[in-house]
Structure formats: C-alpha cells, structure tokens
C-alpha cells in the first residue's frame, strides 16, 4: 500500500488566513484529539466499534473465497441491497473490476459473473433486468441486516416468486445467498427454512461501515477481486490511523482540517474529487459515510446541533467542464479532497502521427495519464489562486491494497470527526420519520401507522389550496 | 407532454417563515421579472440566445434521422466529448434508452448500436474500451465546438491512428462523424480534409445549452430515441416558459424560489432528486447547467459577486439510505427539487405468495412503483416536518416529450436566474486559469505558457516544506 496524504493546500500559506488552517490551530486540537482517540480505542476494545477489526478476519476471507469459487457456473450475480448494502459493493466493483466488466465476454472475465446492484425500488430496473438475464444462470445476494428494508425485501419476494415458478421450489438454495444479521432480523428465519447459504453482518457494524464485511467482500470476491489484498491494505492503514498523535495520523488530521474549515471558515461542503473513473464511486461511498455519520440534529449531550458538512461527489477531469467554474468563482464555501493516481492500469499514448492540427501538437507523445495528472495539478493551482482549500491523496496506483487503505482511512476519519463535532457518528435517527410515513402510506395497519397517516393527511399539502402549474 | 410544477412545499405555510417563501415575496419580484423577461426575449430575437429556438428546427431532425438510419451496421457508437458535449447525450441515454441498453443483444436493441461516452482523459476508459469493442463495427462521434478541448482531441488522435492502422487510411470517413462549429475551430479543417460527415454546434449555443442540437440529438437518434417527440415536448414547454408573468411561468417561478431561498434564507445548495433511475442523469445534466451558469465571481456591472448555488444530484429512493439523514437533521441550507413519475414504463408487482415474513405483508399486492412514490411522499413530508423547503415536478410518465419539456424548462429557469442574480449566465471565465495551467504543464511553449509555468513553480507547493504523511 502506498497512499500519501498531502495537506499543504489547506493551510494559510496556500489560501490565506480567511480560508486556510494554521498548524497552530491543528496543534490546538491535540489535547481534544487525544481524548477522542482514547474514547475510540476504549470502544474498540469493548467491541462496540466493529469496523476497526474487520480487516483482521482471515477466516471470513477464506469462507467467502470458497463460496465464490463455487459460483463459476453463474453468469450474473445480482445484489439486492440499498444504502450501505449497495455502496460498498459498487465502490469495489468500479474501482477494482475491469472498467467494462459487465460488457466483456465470459472468457475475458475469466469465467466470473457479471455484477448488478439493484439499489432502488424503481420497478423498471428490477423488471427489465430480470427480463434481460438468464434466470437459470443468476444468483441473487440479498443484503439487509434487519430484513426489514422495504426496497430490498420487495425485490427478494419478486426474485423468490420468479425462481419458484420458472425453475422450481427447490431451486432457492442454489440461486439465493443472504447477507444478514447472525440471529436477529426478519431474514434469518427465512434463510434457515430454505437452508440458504448465508453470511453475517456483525452486530457491531453499521451499514455505512460494512464494506469490509461480507456485504462488500462477497460480491467483490465473486467478481474476482483479490479481497485478501484489499484487507491487507486496510490493515496497513490501520497502523497509521491508530496513532494517537493528531499530527501523525492522516485520518485524524483530515478530520481536523475538515472540522476547522467547516466550523471556523464556513466550508460547509466537502468535495471528494478523484481524478480517475475507477475511483469515482469511492466518492459516492464517502458521500454516505460523511453525510449519514455527521449530519445530526443533536449532539451527544442532547443539545440541538444541526451539524454536518454536505459531501459532494465529483470526478476529475470531467467535472472541470461542469463544476469547476462554480468551485473557482462561486462562494468560497467548500474544501476539496483531490485523489491522484500516479500510474494507471492501462497506458494510452497520444500518438505523434496527427500533424493536421499544430495547435494541439503539445499533447502528442504524452500518455493520457500525464494529461489527467497535469489537469489535477492545474486545478489545484487554480483553486489555490482563488483561495479555495484543498487536500490531496496520492495513490501510487489503483490496487486492492490502496483502495482498502483509502476506505479504511476515511472510516477512521469519519469516526474521529464524530468526536470533534461531539455527535454520535454511528446512528441515523433522522431517517425514521420517512420510514414510518412510507409504511403508513403503503397501508401497514399498526396503530402507530394509522396515527402517522392521519398526521400526513393533516399537513399543509391537504389543507392549502394547491399551488402548482 | 404532461409536467406539473408544484411549489407548495417551498412556501411559509409548509416550512415556516425562516425557511419558506411567501407569495408576497414572489409577487414582489414581478416587476424585475418583467424586465428580465423582456431582456431575454430581446436577446432571443437578436439570435444571441440560440437555445430558445432549437426545438423548432425540423430540418436538423430529418438530417439526423437519415444519418442514424444509415448506421444500422454499427455495433458501437462512441461519443468523444466532455462537459456539455457528454452530459446531454448521457442524460438522454439514461432517460430514454432501455435501462440496460448496452447489455441487450442486438435483436432486442432493434439493431441499434450501443452507446459509449468517453468523457474523461482517464487512459483506462479509453484503452480498455478500444480493447473491448470491434473497431470495424464502431463509429466515433467527436464532439467539440472549438476543436481545442484537450481530453476530446487526444481521444480523437488515438482513434484516428487506430482506424488508419487497423482498418486503413481511407476508413476515417466511415468511422468518424464530427459535431463542431460550422466554420471556426480546429476540427472543421480536419473534417473537410477527410470529407467526414459532420453536424453543427450553432455559434449562439453554449455547451451546457446544447442538448437540443446535434450534440444531444445525434447520439440519441442513433440509439433509437424518438428525437422528434423530444423536441415536440420542448416546444410545448416553450409556450409555458415564455409567459411574461412570473406567477404563471414555471421556469421563472422556480428560478425565483431558488433565488429567494438562496439570498434570503441561506439555502446555498439546490438538490435535484428524481425518484426514478431513468431520470438520475437529468440531475447530473442540471448540475452542470446550474453550477456553470450561475457560479460567477463578478456581476454584469463588473462588481465582485461570488454567487452561485451549489447543485447536488441525488436519487430517490436510493439516497434516503445515504443522504436523507443529513437532509433532515443537518444544517437547513438546501432547497430540494423532487421529481415524480406517476406511471413507470415497466410494472413490478410485489407478489402475495411470500407469507413467511408477516411483518412485510403490507408490501404485498402493491406495485413497486407505488412503493417508490410512497417514499417520495414520505420524504417530502419528513423534510417539511423538519422545515426544509421542497418543490416537486410531476411527470405523468417517462416519455421523450416529458424529458424534452423538463430539460427546456430547466434551461429557461437557468437563463432567468442569471437575470435575478445579475450575472452573465452564458460565459465561464473561471475555467480559463486551469486550462492555461494544464497547457503549460503539458509543455505547450507559447510565451504565455512559459510565464504560467513559472507562476505555478513559484507558488506555495514549491516554496514550502511539503506537509504530507
């Protein structure tokens, strides 16, 4: 693993006093940092924060690899999952499978299945996928810890019905594998009744911290991604990210930079902008991690807080032609995480043969990888010139080790940031209201639902004359 | 076309005085709105704002359809374009082609080519795609108005070299079609020299307003999308969006709501959240339109402004499991555009056969489309309860007419918002710095580049001892 974290661009030297942090400010957080560190380590030892230790579970890796080897007959592996159950698998797929994995013929995929993730209750994506694939060569991986996720469970019901009807009632065992709670939850009895293969989401790991459980590892292994190397990178990073000294721990340092820039410099948004298509869904995964962990109405003391930076996924160089105008000239309210890849997995030399357009001769002879990295340097320069703070992660290449390391770093960064904001980074109370309202609107008939339905019916939408055109 | 714009959720009745707008405030903008309207119409008549009239060009539609009919031999249509040259085609593809278009066998695609858009200078996506497709059955559509876009032109050079070498020097004509300026620019002489088929990006249409030119229409027609219906919807919407009265024009009204919420209620972000996978890239297209048009350092009077809401793309119901925790409990600094689809193009009934889990019985018998729409209602309710303003677009279904209408509305909304913010919505001066820096770093050797390279070398990154770990 080789990941360097460079925070020069976030300092006052780079972007001035109004928009950068000083080393003194960072060092001023050292004492608080030590307290937060000790609290995290205490909770880790008490097995409350399971995510810390996931990369050390070799037994799980072997079990998953064995299961994956048995799936060479399958052409399609369809994850039924949403939120943390989808973003981990998608992130690993985009980063570490071939860029066009699903389009390659089976031989070029070395017999590995294609991967699909049905992460929405959109009827089109479900029905049309089931229409497009050969059911007999398809395995469904239903992923839900509680078994109560309506989007995922609806899809499971549809898949079960289809398998029973088209292949036979005994075929469920072959075509469904579950990833769910070890004993609790609504899905476990179903697994037992049908003797389904299943993997566990540990009790002490929340959805957004689950990429190194079977949630992320199983689909990755099925595609042929070297999950043992992914975890090796995470373990390496674990050493750097459990240093108690803020100034020597890249996860703590980036959390502190973000916290200071948000609370003292008005940087209310955190842009994650890898310069690599393969890493684009690392940004999408980070977007859930940062938003759901830190966006909280109350702090740990029960006081109103309404905190949380808004994470934004971007893609370099693509978004230079979409967002950078705003980033450079709009309100100075963002901190940027640039992610550089020093060596890409494919070369693309720009040939010298094209002499028809002399104005573009300067591009010839370079590799396209040099162009995208020059664009990263240029954008960092333009942002600094406009006094917009940046940090930069430098990966020597896109390997399982580096991706594992980067994700682990961002998880620790998020947990530590929870300490700085003094909020609970591991709950999500704000989504309950919508869940209850959905159940009420769908006609679940508990007493609480009836009350909720009445409440929905009484609000502004029903009372006022509708304003629309 | 049937699109309804509902703004109840953005009013003070829904979310209170601190976070909503009043009808009185909106009406207070009527006079300014009239002035902005007259200015826009004057510039439209003077042919400065070409985007207004694009949907009325039947001749172009016929020319494109004829070209597309001649492409049935092709298996792959590869757009080489970035920014506005990519986001329009991608948006139409995601919205109106089959959800799994590229994965379908040719017969199910009715012989239409697969569509790829290479919108980055990432060497992996270029080399690996060229590796994965049959070059003899591939057509490249190079899209750049100026012909000076380094990402796109590098890709063109690579494709040209490959075609010359693998198929033959005379094959360029068959395998490349250009979309570029009618006479100016670096690409036009190349088209002439090789007698390439080509289409025009009109002089008075900027990249982000180009979806109804050949930039968007050609790839769409090649895939089999009914582009005449797309334009019919845009024409219909043009009637509603050129009403001079703010209160009767949905584009003006949504611009005014966003402007008031940004400048008077601190809603610095505009979330575009369709509840449909097909419409997810409408949000990505909007993201460029809103950011690049409104993110400006100076107003039209030359005064410092630093304005521009940050647009955010989201996807319902998926992001309820990722972003809604922050949206409901975090800082109240966003306005939400929810997009509803009343009828989906595929049904997905949730069967009644699955009795093993009684807790989920309430889902059975519904269509999945009812679930996703209940989730939209529930989220709107939860946002309103937390005093977060929303507007809602309601499409009766996902048709070319409705997509055309929605995009046209958002274009007019953006142009009008430029008037409210008193900035030039049609330029992008902020990206020049990065472009010059890239050219300098890539070794272009104009005098200005040498100066720029010296400037880059002199900044913080080189002067200071590097802070990284």
Q: From the DSSP assignment, how many helices (H) and strands (E) are in chain B? A: 19, 12
Facing B325 at nearest CB: one of A148, A156, A291 = A291
Chain B hits for A330, Cβ within 8 Å: 291, 294-297, 306-308, 310
Residue in chain A closest to B262 (alpha carbons) equals A331
In this structure, CATH architecture of domain B3-43+230-421: 3-Layer(aba) Sandwich (3.40)
Chain A hits for B102, Cβ within 8 Å: 103
Q: Distance of CA B8 to CAs A465, B16, B327, Å?
A: 9, 12, 18
The answer for residues whose C-beta is within 8 angstroms of residue A47's C-beta and 6 or more apart is A204
Residue in chain A closest to B349 (alpha carbons) equals A158
Domain locations in chain A?
A: 3-43+230-421, 50-229, 440-469
Domains A3-43+230-421 and A50-229 share a fold: yes
Instruction: Report the length, in residues, of chain A.
Output: 469
Q: Cβ contact (<8 Å) for B124 and A344?
A: yes
Chain A hits for B122, Cβ within 8 Å: 275-278, 344, 368, 372
Residue in chain B closest to A130 (alpha carbons) equals B348
Residue B460's pLDDT is what?
57
Cα of B288 to nearest chain A Cα, Å: 5
Q: Distance of CA B374 to CAs A81, A438, A450, B317, B320, Å?
A: 19, 6, 15, 10, 13
Q: Which of residues 319-348 of A touch B (CB under 8 A)?
A: 320-334, 344-348
Is residue B292 flagged as an active site residue?
yes
Facing A325 at nearest CB: one of B127, B147, B430 = B430
Q: Are A190 and B357 in contact (CB under 8 A)?
A: yes
Is residue B435 flagged as an active site residue?
yes
Choose which CATH entry (3.40.50.10490, 3.30.70.20, 3.40.50.150, 3.40.50.300) describes domain B50-228.
3.40.50.10490
Residue B464's pLDDT is what?
53
Facing A332 at nearest CB: one of B125, B148, B306 = B306
Q: Cβ contact (<8 Å) for B326 and A318?
A: no
Residue A443 CA to residue B371 CA, distance in Å, equals 11
Residue B409's pLDDT is what?
98
Which of A193, A115, A126, A188 has the alpha carbon at shortest distance from A162? A126
Residue B362 CA to residue B12 CA, distance in Å, equals 35
Which of A377, A391, A271, A287 has the alpha carbon at shortest distance from A20? A391
Pick the catalytic residue: B223, B292, B380, B401?
B292
Q: Are A391 and B177 in contact (CB under 8 A)?
A: no
Residue B467 CA to residue B469 CA, distance in Å, equals 7
Cα of A378 to nearest chain B Cα, Å: 5
If one counts every other C-beta atom within 10 angstroms of the C-beta of residue B202, the result is: 20
Provide the terminal-to-terminal Cα distance of chain B, rounded to the nearest Å: 56
- Give me the CATH code for the A50-229 domain, please: 3.40.50.10490
Q: Cβ contact (<8 Å) for B334 and A310?
A: yes
Residue in chain B closest to A325 (alpha carbons) equals B430
The answer for residues whose C-beta is within 8 angstroms of residue A69's C-beta and 6 or more apart is none
Instruction: Name the phi and psi angles at B332, rounded to 5.
Output: -85, 75
Per-position pLDDT tens, chain A of length 469: 899 999 999 999 999 999 999 999 999 999 999 999 999 999 999 999 999 999 999 999 999 999 999 999 999 999 999 999 999 999 999 999 999 999 999 999 999 999 999 999 999 999 999 999 999 999 999 999 999 999 999 999 999 999 999 999 899 999 999 999 999 889 999 999 999 999 999 999 999 999 999 999 999 999 999 999 999 999 999 999 999 999 999 999 999 999 999 999 999 999 999 999 999 999 999 999 999 999 999 999 999 999 999 999 999 999 999 999 999 999 999 999 999 999 999 999 999 876 778 888 899 999 999 999 999 999 999 999 999 999 999 999 999 999 999 999 999 999 999 999 999 999 999 998 899 999 999 988 888 888 887 788 766 565 455 678 8
The answer for residues whose C-beta is within 8 angstroms of residue A191's C-beta and 6 or more apart is A178, A180, A198
Q: How many CA atoms lie within 13 A of B259 on its CB side?
A: 24
Q: Which of residues 216-235 of B touch A (CB under 8 A)?
A: none
Cα of A13 to nearest chain B Cα, Å: 7
Instruction: Name the phi and psi angles at A26, rounded to 5.
Output: -60, -45
- DSSP-derived pairing of the beta strands B138-143 and B76-80: parallel
Is residue A298 flagged as an active site residue?
no
Q: Which residues make beta-bridge pairs with A393?
A: A5, A339
Cα of B204 to nearest chain A Cα, Å: 19
Residue B416 CA to residue B244 CA, distance in Å, equals 11
Chain A hits for B317, Cβ within 8 Å: 82, 120-121, 151
Q: Cβ contact (<8 Å) for B325 and A370?
A: no
pTM across the whole model: 0.97
Q: Is B204 on the interface with A (CB under 8 A)?
A: no
The segments of chain B whose pLDDT lies below 70 read 354, 458-466
Residue B458 CA to residue A343 CA, distance in Å, equals 26
Q: Is A12 on the interface with B (CB under 8 A)?
A: no
Instruction: Name the phi and psi angles at B426, rounded to 5.
Output: -115, 5
Q: Which of residues 96-135 of A touch B (CB under 8 A)?
A: 98-100, 102-104, 108, 119-129, 132
DSSP letter assigned to residue A297: E
Q: Is B367 on the interface with A (CB under 8 A)?
A: yes
Residue A458 CA to residue A44 CA, distance in Å, equals 46
DSSP letter assigned to residue B51: G
Q: Which residues make beta-bridge pairs with B332?
A: none
Q: Which string of DSSP letters, residue by residue, matches B10-40?
A: GBHHHH-TTTSB-HHHHHHTHHHHHHHHHHH
Instruction: Name the phi and psi angles at B351, rounded to 5.
Output: -65, 160
Q: Cβ contact (<8 Å) for B292 and A323?
A: yes
Counting one residue from chain A and one from chain B, the pairs whose CB atoms sit within 8 A come to 504
Pick the catalytic residue: B321, B462, B463, B464?
B321
Starting at the edge strand found earlier in the chain, the sheet holding A76-80 runs A114-118, A76-80, A138-143, A176-180, A197-200
Residue in chain A closest to B449 (alpha carbons) equals A362
Three-state secondary-structure class, residue A353: coil
Q: Are A340 and A393 in contact (CB under 8 A)?
A: yes
Q: Which residues make beta-bridge pairs with B298?
A: B304
Q: Cβ contact (<8 Å) for A186 and B11?
A: no
Facing A295 at nearest CB: one of B329, B382, B433 = B329
Residue B191 CA to residue B188 CA, distance in Å, equals 5
Q: What is the 3-state secondary structure (H, E, C) of A242-286?
A: CCCCHHHCHHHHHHHHHHHHHHHHCCCEEEEEECCHHHHHHHHHH
Cα A192 to chain centroid, rounded: 30
Q: Are B120 and A372 in contact (CB under 8 A)?
A: yes
The answer for residues whose C-beta is within 8 angstroms of residue B339's C-beta and 6 or more apart is B272, B273, B274, B275, B276, B279, B282, B392, B393, B395, B406
Starting at the edge strand found earlier in the chain, the sheet holding B138-143 runs B114-118, B76-80, B138-143, B176-180, B197-200
Q: How many CA atoms lie within 13 A of A20 on its CB side?
A: 22
Q: Which of residues 46-75 of A touch B (CB under 8 A)?
A: none
């Amino acid at each position: 693993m080789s990941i360097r974290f460079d925070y020069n661009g976030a300092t006052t030297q780079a972007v001035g006093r109004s928009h950068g942090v000083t080393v003194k400010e960072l060092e001023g957080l050292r004492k608080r940092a030590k307290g937060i560190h000790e609290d995290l380590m205490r909770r880790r030892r008490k097995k409350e924060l399971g995510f810390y230790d996931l990369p050390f579970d070799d037994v799980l890796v072997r079990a998953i690899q064995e299961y994956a080897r048995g799936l060479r007959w399958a052409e399609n592996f369809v994850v039924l999952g949403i939120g943390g159950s989808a973003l981990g698998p998608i992130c690993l797929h985009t980063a570490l499978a071939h860029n066009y994995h699903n389009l390659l013929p089976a031989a070029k995929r070395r017999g590995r299945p294609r991967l699909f993730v049905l992460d929405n209750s959109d009827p089109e994506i479900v029905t049309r996928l089931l229409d497009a694939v050969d059911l007999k060569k398809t395995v469904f991986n239903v992923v839900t810890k509680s078994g109560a996720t309506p989007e995922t469970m609806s899809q499971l019901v549809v898949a079960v019905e289809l398998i029973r009807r088209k292949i036979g009632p005994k075929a469920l065992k072959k075509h469904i594998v579950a990833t769910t709670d070890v004993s609790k939850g609504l899905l476990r009895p179903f697994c037992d009744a049908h003797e389904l293969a299943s993997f566990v989401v540990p009790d002490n790991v929340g959805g957004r911290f689950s990429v190194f459980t079977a949630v992320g590892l199983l689909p990755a292994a099925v595609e042929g991604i070297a999950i043992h190397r992914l975890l090796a990178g995470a373990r390496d990073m674990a050493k750097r990210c459990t240093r108690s000294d803020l100034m020597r721990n890249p996860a703590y340092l980036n959390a502190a930079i973000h916290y200071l820039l948000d609370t003292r410099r008005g940087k209310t948004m955190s842009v994650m902008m890898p310069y690599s298509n393969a890493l684009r869904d690392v940004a999408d995964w980070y977007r859930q991690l940062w938003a759901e962990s830190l966006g909280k109405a109350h702090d740990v003391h029960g006081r109103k807080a309404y905190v949380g930076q808004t994470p934004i996924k971007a893609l370099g160089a693509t978004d230079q032609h979409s967002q950078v105008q705003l980033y450079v000239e709009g309100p100075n309210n963002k901190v940027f995480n640039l992610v550089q890849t020093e060596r890409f997995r494919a070369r693309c030399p720009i040939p010298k043969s094209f002499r028809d357009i002399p104005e573009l001769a300067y591009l010839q002879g370079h590799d396209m990888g040099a162009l995208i990295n020059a664009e990263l340097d240029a954008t960092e320069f333009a942002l600094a010139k406009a006094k917009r703070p940046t940090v930069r992660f430098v990966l020597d290449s896109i390997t399982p080790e580096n991706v594992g390391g980067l994700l682990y770093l961002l998880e620790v960064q998020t947990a530590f940031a929870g300490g700085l904001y003094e909020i609970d980074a591991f709950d999500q109370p704000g989504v309950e209201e919508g869940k209850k309202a959905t159940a009420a609107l769908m006609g679940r008939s508990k007493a609480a639902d009836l009350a909720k339905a009445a409440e929905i019916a009484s609000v502004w939408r029903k009372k006022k004359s509708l304003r629309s055109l």
